[in-house]
Structure 1
Amino acid sequence: MPRFMGFVRMEEGGGMPPKALFEAMDNYIAEQAGAGHFLDGGGLFGTEDAVNFVVRKGEVTRVDGPYAEAKEVVGGWALLQYDTLEDAISGQQEFAELHAKYWPECEMVATLRQVSEEPPQPSDA
């Protein structure tokens, strides 16, 4: 059964979601978990304590948050499992619609990506 990652990107510092969204999300996640679609997930803390390791020209540099240049950050994630891509897309749309309904002033992007089940193939570069 294909697995997918769902990501939520939004502007950092946009405030806390309303209680109604938390309640709707609790119900939605319980329903999705009960159906075997929601495997794991959660919210992420802000970038104030984030650490990036940047690889550039064969060197690694550590960059600690917060990141002034960041407009949007990943605020949450979910590991999902659906029978088909179409079912996964429908589930992610329903998730996004909960935000539109219960937190209409929020601007966010809900991204869905399929998890590769095959190891990457090395390039000859």
Structure 2
Amino acid sequence: MPRFMGFVKMEEGIGAPPQALMDAMDGYIGEQAANGAFLDGGGLYGTEDAVNFVVRKGETSRVDGPYAEAKEVVGGWALLQYDTLEEAIAGQAEFAELHAKYWPECSMVATLRQISEAPPEAADA
């Protein structure tokens, strides 16, 4: 059964979501967990405590948050499992619609990506 990652990207520092959205999300996630589609997920803290490790030209450097240049950040994630890609897309659309309905002043992007089950092939293979 294919697995997917859902991401929520939105402007940082816009405040807490309305209680109506939180209530709607609780119901939606509960339903999705009960039918086996929602495996795990949650919100993320802001970038003030984020740590990035950047690799460039064979060198690794650490860059601590906050990141003033970041306009939008990943604010939440979900590990999902559906029978088909079409079902996963419908589920992510429903998730996005909850935000449009209960937090219309929020601009966000809900991204869905399928998880690769095969190990990556080496570039020099």
TM bucket, shorter chain: over 0.9
Find the counterpart in structure 2 of residue 75 from structure 1: 75
Normalised by the length of structure 1, the TM-score is: 0.99
Matches within 5 A, 1:39-78: 39-78=39-78
Alignment correspondent of 2:92 = 92
Query: Following TM superposition, by how much is the alpha carbon of 1:38 offset from its aligned partner in structure 2, in angstroms?
Result: 0.1
Matched, 1:122 2:122: yes
Ranges in structure 1 where 5+ consecutive residues have no aligned partner: none
Once the two structures are superposed, residues 6-36 of structure 1 have per-residue CA deviations (whole angstroms, 9 ceiling, x without a partner) of 0000010011100000000000000000000
User: What displacement does 1:107 show?
Assistant: 0.2
Distance in 2 of aligned mates of 1:7 and 1:123: 27
Taking only aligned residues, the RMSD between alpha carbons, in angstroms, comes to: 0.8
> What is the aligned residue count?
125
* Structure 1 runs (4+) greater than 3 angstroms displaced: none
Structure 2 counterpart of 1:82, one-letter code: Y
